[in-house]
A and B are shown apart, each in its own frame.
Chain A
Amino acid sequence: MNAVRAPAIVALLALLIGAVVFAVDPGAPLLADGPVPAVAERSASDGSADVWFCQGPTPGAPGVDDRVVALTNPTEAPVEGLITVVDEAGRRVGRTYQVGAGERFEFRPDPFVPDGRFAAVTVEVSEGGLLVDQRIVGDGSAGRDVEACATVTSAIWRHPWGTTERPGTSAILLLHNPFPGTAVADIRLIGDLGRRESLDSQGIVVAGRSLVAYDLTGRIADSEVVSAIVDVRVGQLVTALFQHGDGTSPNAWHGVDLSLGLPGDAGRLFLPGPTVPGDRASVVLLNAGDETVDVEVVPHPVSGEFTVEPFRVVLRAGRREVLDLFGDGRLDGVGPFLIEVRSLDAPTVAASLVTRSSLGDESDPGDQGAVGLDVLSAVDHAATKWWVRTEPAEIGGSASLVLFNPASAGIAAVDLTLLPMGDADEVGSSAEPLPAHLELDPGMQVEFALPPGVVEVEASAPVVVVAHQDGPMGRTSFVGTAAVGTVVRPS
């Protein structure tokens, strides 16, 4: 039998060469980055379940007069679910609820757990559609805080700023484990004298479906700034740092604040610049990693006429730095600006913006200064869809909405809608109308008056939405609630 060799060799070589030439590059990334979680995300009423976690003080806690959890249903269908309230003593009470279409349901956690000083509320929404936030009012109407509740749990939480100054301040770290399994957390505290760890801050057991109130004031007393790093060894938690100041401390902290913290470290973070001229504002930077990082805090003035030199900070491992934005005067007169925090090394940075009203007359001991303590955690994400719910501003107060486009390129076309709610008398009563449409250049920030009610923000490119409320009873800022699936890290 005769056979030929050449065609087979040619064919096999051709196959081999073709396989080499047309092979994909194994190093080329083929998969897009996964979804980025926001602290508070809301599902539309499409059947997806949401679980909201709201922890905070009850009127039994020092300096707290009231706490209200609000469930707002801006959809056209009623929403049902389950509320579970647990206090730091382990008492747990569950109730079902229903919120009618376009209605709001408010409740106070303290009647569920009458003896608890702190209470964590878990709101299960079986089919989405609900917005959940809470309002804390300081004792004697001194201070207030409004925050959207969290929808995320994490094994990492960062609280860059807290204070245990004596006298007149208290800081309580709330560790909420909403799951059946036990969680074990390690807490590292960084005070004025450096890192502070003790045996009782390591291996803190948070039983399933329980709340632990970890008092920082007693453990690292009289520290002007206390940063808390929470690493959860087992399970996941939701943490919040409750801060109260009666104005008698050296820095005259006066008011209440509940800060959710950051569920992780990041390499790029964004903050809106302080909105009230003359206020004191600091950016607190925290490096929870094991390596020293170079950090730049870059102010982006809205006005294109100014260019501001970035603040450069070298952060050693496990250290924090408080940066007084207006201390060196480089931001004087630049007007509104957006703050970008970026690590030039490992992405292990967390940041918060701390603002308060100007101090009163320091020579007058009786002048405790204006009420106002506001801590806003920086965000590493942006979204194309947001919701913000606010209540009518108090007399003499104001509410505003800050939108900024954190991207370095690309205009964001933004549509704003005030959703119709049942309590029509509270909706849209702002003196200034809400703009229906606007465009944001990259790195730009815009602020305008926020009417009460639920505002829906829809943008063509990811933006960040922050609400401010300021008034005689204090000030508060909070990041809006993002829509599930629209959250990304800015380019």
Chain B
Amino acid sequence: MDTDQTAGRQGNGDPSAEGPGTTSSTALVRLVLVAHDPGDWFEEVLTAIGAQDHSGLDVLVVDAGRRKGLVERVTAVLPWAEVATAPGDPGFGEAANVALGRLEGAAYHLFLHDDLVLDGTAVRRMVECALESNAGVVGPKVLDGSDPRHLEDMGSWVDRYGAAVPRFEPGELDQGQHDADREVFATSESALLVRSDLFGAIDGFDPEIRFLDGSLDLCWRARLAGASVLTAPTAVGRSVGGRRTRRRRTDPQRLRPRHKLRTTLVNQDPVHRGAAVAELLLATLLGVAYGLLVGRFRHVRGLIAAWPWNLRRLGSARARRSTVDHHFGGDQARLYVRHDVPHRSFHRAVTGGASVGTGSEAPSRLRLHQLWSALLGPGGIALLVGGAVLGFGSRHLLTRGLPDIGRFQAVPSEPFDLARSWWTGWRPTGGGIASPPNEGMAFLGFVGQVFPWSGAVLLAAAVLAAFPVGAVGVWRLVRPIGGGRSRAVAVLTYLAVPLPYNSLAEGRLAPLAAYAALPWVAHRLAVAQGVVPYGRRGGDPGPGERLGGLWGEVLVAGLVLAVAIGLEPTVVVLAGVVVAGLVVGSLLAGSLAGVPRLLLVAAGSAVVAALLHVPGLDRLPGGDLVAAFVEPGTWAPADLGIAAILRLDTGSFSAGRLGWALLVIPVLALLTASGWRLALVVRAWLIAAGGFGLAWVLDQGLWSGPMPAAELVLVPAALGLAWAAAVGAASIGVGVYSRAFGWRHFLPPVAALALLAVVAPVVESSLDGRWGLPPRGLDASLPIFGDEGGTAYDESRGGVGRVLWLGEPSILPAAGVALDDGLAMALTDGVPGLLDQVPFRPIDGPGIQQVRTAILEVLEGRTSRLGMEVSAWGVQHLVVVERSAAAPYAAVEPPPPDELLAVLTRQLDLERVEGLNRSVTVFRNTVAEPVHAVVRDRTGSAVPVAVDRTAWDRVEVVPPVDGSYRAMVGPSGWWRLDPMVGSGPVDEEVGPFPTARIVAGTRVAVVLESDMTSRGVRTRQLALLFLVLLATSWAHVGRRRRRVDA
């Protein structure tokens, strides 16, 4: 190493030229300044050094950079300083180790980075601290150079893997709060004063640690040698030149993993070292997976590169380890246990997260504090109150389950069958159809596997979850608009609309799913438009908004839309209403800002959602698209009327004239808001108008296809009103009381009264604990099925008999297919279950198709033996449903189809079952045949076989007589005979026509044909989902984003 003595220490009147180290009465400090091509700030650093009031200071500047001219810069400021050149672009540690050869003559060595500006007393204070406390290492308090009110570095602790853990949160103000506790594990990285003998004893800095963590490693070894490490709070420095971590050569994601492993290998005692290395290896594996998932590729590279880097340096590690062992005198366990929280250390090692929060400032605790702060605001209180009222009002439903009305039917005894059905694409409903349940059902099946309570409670919880999910969605949607008051109004308004309660009373799943999902979709669309307060267009974004890039928005919106579609496919239409409302609303508000981006994101998200629902897409070419996703419904023209539509008054849960109060706050918002709030309320009103318009079109009978429920199409209206109400709450009271008394002063009390009127019916309805639902559903009317389905529904003998349900679609206990105006039919295996509740088309299965044809013939008077027509499909009973629940409970009671009962009564092979509740009329099929049977050669009669269901997709049958096996299970080609040991050469498709001959007593298996099922499609769907999630994570985590905190 070359050195240049730039000047002597003679005084010339200039303090910077004269130098402070002229007296020997105080401890001589040799300041070693390592310069790596410093920037413009370097002169300030040098000037500060020259201004130190410590009397014995010797300065050595080590030029570790590549650029020329450092000597001149030093000479210009500190002509007396010595400059040494460290060739080969060494790191900080190696460059600073130049002091090892110059330990004599100085009691302390102060190692300094080239971007720290010391206060004039800093060196003296550190020396005083070292002398007072007999400390081995002392560091200064480092403040943020750009804003000296904030702390930047004040020493750190260390976790079990050798990661430095700062003592404070980033951006924390310096208020002396950490000054009292001077002991640290490692001092500041920028400056550390080390006793010279100690520095020599521990062999200086580790030259392999070039940047970052050099101080930590040195302090660790100093502590191992028995020295104490302190921060001198009165010694202050300022970091200039930008944060070091932003400089490429000190990239922590690259350096920290290798340094952690290095310090662990060198400084840990043998007992902990092995465990720590093993844990770091596991953390590396998990971290690599995590980094790949979230798109943090530099983190991945850093983790992976740490191992070969350290393996190549095992020799030097051993050498340094011997030095540590030689000087070992400290209590290693004590070193890091004080602030070590193992799971958090491991989490940091895996995620590469910032080393903060080992103490009371833990991120999770901070998030908890933030959550509590939010919950205790008006919006949070609205959520809590809403939750309390909903919980109170739902108490009997949650504890006793939902009554069996409409779509609320029992979860299968094996809940995972929901997921199996989704996976295979086959359902037993309708005699066996190639139409899987939606993803929501499949998810419920997964949850049911681990749900500790009964299926009834699971179903109730899933259905009632629509309320909190929808409320939280609205809460998030309106969060940027204003304070907690607007959130409270929006949440309460959304929770108080009659739609979900009427959906509950009518047993409808689709509107509840849309009610829960649409606010989330609308939020993504609003963010996609990016207009204030959801973005920067037109002003500053509101609190809580994360602004992402275009592709990130497309992916997130697509994912949200896909999830919503998974719950209820018709949400697509409602999302279209929201998009249209935003676009037209923007136009009417006078600005098209963000509309192209909105349309782009909407289109892109639709593509993403479509990709994630590939199995649904394959149904598009089959025609009858609406019927595939919308269950048939009835809607008599002008049944609702405009007044009811505007009040969202669709059923038995009605506030009557009080329902008009729902419009008060949104109307006031439209009349009084201004600026961006007016633009937003116009958009919200246009969304509401879209919902109202859709309902009006259907109410007028202008749509001839399957009729969705009124509660479903009005969800956008409810959302728009809640959204507008939020704006109203934020704008109505603004500046009112600073004006002269006028009409505006009446607005807040009017709005409050309106909100009270909106909420009051819900509170009143909560008293019964069931939201008006009857304690028993349709099941109470059907004792013939018994608890276990009765003998006709004993699967072991010929399979489960089927039930043909006829009636108005919404009160049928299974999703049906349309027959005639106001009439639909469903076909279930015995008692209906949740698997029977998803819409499908007649063409999805031959059974439902043929039975439907037979029913249509009956309605047209073309047959008098319906029983025979449907007997082959194992129809044991026909049930005409006339009420949604058993009499005398309150129920939906649509006008019964007059002609239906008459024509069924006229059938010569149907026997009416008497003595039943008037909610149903049941006919027994006198000529029913078993589902699984062997057809005898001579008589042609179908003899039931013994059936043993061994799995979802496997049934084993044993015929009692010789004959040809026949299974009335659709669709054709999906089930086949699987040869079993000793059962003979049978391997054929099974279906309506007798195929394979089976000898009496032979046990054969009937299995779901794997080639026909949707397993491959589902695999691709899951793979696509994984890829989209990955891309979304990369797009969001990898991007620089800004979070506007509330």
Q: Give A contacts to B, CB under 8 Å.
A: 1-5, 7-9, 11-12, 15-16, 19-20, 22-26, 30-31, 34, 43, 47-51, 122, 124, 153, 178-182, 208, 234-236, 484
Contact = CB atoms under 8 A, between A and B. Distances in A.
A47 B862 CA distance: 7
19 contacts: A1-B539, A1-B591, A1-B676, A2-B675, A3-B675, A3-B676, A16-B642, A25-B638, A43-B861, A48-B861, A122-B908, A124-B865, A124-B908, A179-B912, A181-B912, A181-B913, A234-B914, A236-B902, A236-B906
Contacts of A235: 905, 912
A65 B43 CA distance: 138
B685 A234 contact: no
B589 interface: yes
B911 A181 contact: yes
Contact of B670 (A9, A122, A182, A484): A9
B678 interface: yes
A29 to B, nearest CB: 10
Interface in B878-923: 898-899, 902, 905-914, 923
B861 A484 contact: yes
Given A3-B591, A8-B686, A51-B864, A180 B678 contact: no
Tell which of B585, B863, B923 has the most Cβ of chain A within 10 Å: B863
Contacts of B899: 34
Contacts of B701: 24, 30
Contacts of B800: none
Nearest to A37: B902
A415 B593 CA distance: 74
A408 to B, nearest CB: 27
Contacts of B685: 8, 12
B532 interface: yes
A153 B903 CA distance: 10
Contacts of B923: 181
B909 A180 contact: yes
B905 A3 contact: no
A234 B686 CA distance: 55
B588 interface: yes
Nearest to B695: A19
Given A8-B585, A8-B589, A26-B639, A3 B862 contact: no
B577 interface: no
A418 B31 CA distance: 131
Interface string B454-480: 000000000000000000000000000
A26 B641 contact: yes
Given A9-B670, A178-B908, A235-B912, A49 B700 contact: no
A19 B696 CA distance: 7
B690 to A, nearest CB: 10
A266 B688 CA distance: 50
B860 interface: yes
Nearest to B586: A3
Given A1-B537, A179-B911, A181-B913, 8 more contacts: A4-B590, A12-B670, A15-B692, A19-B693, A24-B637, A51-B906, A124-B864, A484-B861
Given A2-B675, A12-B689, A19 B642 contact: yes
Contacts of B537: 1
Contacts of B926: 180
Given A26-B639, A51-B864, A179 B689 contact: no
A179 B906 contact: yes
Nearest to A46: B862
Nearest to A124: B864
Nearest to A178: B908
A24 B693 CA distance: 15
B590 A2 contact: yes
A27 to B, nearest CB: 8
Contacts of B857: 49
A6 to B, nearest CB: 9
A238 to B, nearest CB: 10
B619 to A, nearest CB: 31
A4 B910 contact: no
B637 A1 contact: no
Given A19-B696, A236-B906, A3 B637 contact: no
Contact of A208 (B589, B639, B911): B911
B556 interface: no
Given A8-B686, A47-B862, A3 B678 contact: yes
B668 interface: no
B669 to A, nearest CB: 11
B912 A5 contact: no
Given A2-B675, A8-B670, A20 B642 contact: yes
Nearest to B584: A11
Given A3-B675, A48-B862, A181 B589 contact: no
B882 to A, nearest CB: 16
B377 interface: no
A179 B905 contact: yes
Contacts of A236: 902, 905-906
Tell which of A2, A7, A9, A31 has the most Cβ of chain B within 10 Å: A2
A126 to B, nearest CB: 8
B861 A26 contact: no
A180 B913 CA distance: 10
A47 B700 CA distance: 37
A5 B865 CA distance: 66
Tell which of A19, A34, A235 has the most Cβ of chain B within 10 Å: A19
B480 to A, nearest CB: 13
A25 B636 CA distance: 12
Tell which of B585, B692, B696 has the most Cβ of chain A within 10 Å: B696
B875 to A, nearest CB: 15
Contacts of A43: 861-862
Nearest to B683: A8
Nearest to A31: B821
Nearest to A127: B862
B156 to A, nearest CB: 46
B759 to A, nearest CB: 25
Nearest to B821: A31
Contacts of B38: none
Contacts of B905: 153, 179, 235-236
B117 interface: no
A5 B862 CA distance: 61
Nearest to B905: A236
A179 B642 contact: no
Contacts of A22: 700
A20 B638 CA distance: 11
Nearest to A84: B908
B590 A24 contact: no
B538 interface: yes
A245 B1012 CA distance: 73
Given A3-B591, A48-B860, A181 B910 contact: yes
Contacts of A50: 864
Contacts of A3: 589-591, 674-676, 678-679, 682
Contacts of A2: 590-591, 675
Interface in B571-605: 585, 588-591, 593
B288 interface: no
Nearest to A6: B588
A118 to B, nearest CB: 20
Contacts of B642: 16, 19-20, 23
A81 to B, nearest CB: 10
Contact of A23 (B539, B638, B679, B861): B638
A34 B898 contact: yes
Contacts of B671: 5
Contacts of B497: none
Contacts of B588: 4, 7-8, 11
B689 A49 contact: no
B531 interface: yes
B638 A26 contact: yes
Contact of A49 (B593, B639, B863, B913): B863
Contacts of A25: 638
A9 B593 CA distance: 20
